[in-house]
Amino acid sequence: MNFLLKAATVIDSKSPFHRQTVDILIENGVITDIKKTIKASDHVEEVILDNLHISQGWFDSSVSFGEPGYEERETIDHGLQVAAKSGFTAIALHPNTLPVTDNSTAIGFLKGKSQNSAVSLYPIGALTIQCKGVDMAELYDMQQAGAIAFGDYKKAIQNPNLLKIALLYAQNFNGLVLSFPQENNIAGKGMVNEEEQSTLLGLKGIPALAEELQIARDLFLLEYTGGTLHIPTISTAKSVALIRDAKAKGLQISCSTTVHHLTLTDKELVTFDTNYKVLPPLRTQKDVDALVKGINDGTIDMVTSDHQPIDVEHKKVEFDHSKYGTTGLESAFGTLNTILDIEQTIAMLTNGKSIFKIESESIEIGNKADLSLFNPTGDITFTEEHVISSSKNSAFIGKSTKGAPYGIIANGKMILK
Q: Which residues are catalytic?
A: 306
**Helical packing angle, 76-85 and 104-114, nearest 10°:** 60
Give the contacts of 16 (CB within 8 A, at least 6 positions apart): 364
Give the contacts of 313 (CB within 8 A, at least 6 positions apart): none
- Tell me the C-alpha distance between 80 and 86, whole Å: 10
- Tell me the C-alpha distance between 304 and 291, whole Å: 13
The letter for the amino acid at 229 is L
- Tell me the C-alpha distance between 214 and 355, whole Å: 22
Closest CA to 30 of 389, 361, 401, 395: 361
Bridge partners of residue 104, in order along the sequence: none
- Tell me the C-alpha distance between 267 and 330, whole Å: 23
- Tell me the C-alpha distance between 390 and 408, whole Å: 20
The letter for the amino acid at 256 is S
The letter for the amino acid at 287 is D
Q: Phi and psi at residue 123, in whole multiples of 5°? A: -70, 140
Q: Phi and psi at residue 201, in whole multiples of 5°? A: -90, -10
Pairing label, strands 30-35, 45-47: unpaired
- Tell me the C-alpha distance between 271 and 261, whole Å: 18
Query: Are the beta carbons of 389 and 332 closer than 8 angstroms?
Result: no
Strand, coil or helix: 328:
coil
Query: Are the beta carbons of 163 and 177 closer than 8 angstroms?
Result: yes
